[in-house]
Amino acid sequence: MQADTPTSAGPQDTFLNLIPVDVVVELGRVRLTLRELSALGPDDILELDQPAYRPLSLVVGDQVIARGELVMHNDTLSLQITEIPNQGQGSQA
């Protein structure tokens, strides 16, 4: 099997491009015990591990595939991509 550049898109390429994947826009993370989680209520505040000025991560699986900032687009909260990490490095979420 050669890793040369493809000359044309075959049926498998078309099929693979139609498979849906879950994409997550990650604001940040916090680690809680089950006791802390069950005690959450209205008006409680969870402090995330990311500063407010840092770009948000676009994550597929456990891989960060892009970063960006929140914007309003067509009356919808959206992510505007500002950075795509180098494909060869593979960042962790």
Dump pLDDT digits (tens) for 8-67: 666 667 888 899 999 999 999 999 999 999 999 999 999 999 998 999 999 999 899 999
In a domain, 5, yes or no: no
In a domain, 12, yes or no: no
Residue 53 has phi, psi (to 5 degrees) of -85, -10
pLDDT of residue 1: 42
In a domain, 4, yes or no: no
The whole-angstrom separation of Cα 29 and Cα 47 is 9
Domain that holds residue 79: 22-92
* Total number of residues shown for the chain: 93
Tell which wins on pLDDT, 89 or 65. 65
In a domain, 75, yes or no: yes
pLDDT of residue 89: 53
What is the total count of domains within the chain?
1
pTM: 0.66
Q: Is the pLDDT of residue 92 over 90?
A: no
CATH of the domain at 36: 2.30.330.10
The whole-angstrom separation of Cα 31 and Cα 14 is 40
Question: E strands, the chain, where?
Answer: 24-26, 56-60, 63-73, 76-83, 91-92
In a domain, 78, yes or no: yes
